[in-house]
Amino acid sequence: MPGPAKISPGRCPTCGRRKKRSTEANRRLWALYTAMSNKLRPERSPYTYHLYCKKTFLGATDYKLPNGEVLTIPNSSSDLDADEFADFMGAVESLAAEHGVWLDE
């Protein structure tokens, strides 16, 4: 008789669904994007830093449009589970720190 199914890390032990990032983690990420925008290039919005970080750390997918142009869409951070999001956040924090940007705790 087989034993109980193993639940992989990053999944709820009760239902098996992936654990998603918290609202607090998402707020922290956007606070860091805002700090980067304010300190580095105020003419660039926090959303610009979001797009850059997604493309840099999560990759992107190219789509060929009917007119032959190629549209590059960064992969979504909303698909990350809690552990993957923590890794992504760490990469963004490292990038920000390289440029002298960090959040006051």
Instruction: Go through the domains of the chain in sequence order and give each one's CATH number.
Output: 23-98 (1.10.3790.10)
> 56 or 21: which carries more pLDDT confidence?
56
**What is the rounded distance in angstroms from the CA atom of residue 48 to the CA atom of residue 34?**
10
**pLDDT, tens digit, 9 for 90 and up, residues 34-70:** 999 999 998 999 999 999 999 999 999 999 999 999 9
Predicted TM-score (pTM) of this structure:
0.76
The pLDDT tens digits of the residues spanning 72-96 come to: 999 999 889 989 999 999 999 999 9
Please tell me the predicted confidence (pLDDT) of residue 79.
85
Distance CA 79, CA 21 (A): 10
Per-residue confidence (pLDDT) for residue 9, from 0 to 100: 56
Q: Is 74 helix (H, G, I), strand (E, B) or coil?
A: strand
pLDDT confidence bin for 21, thresholds 50/70/90: confident
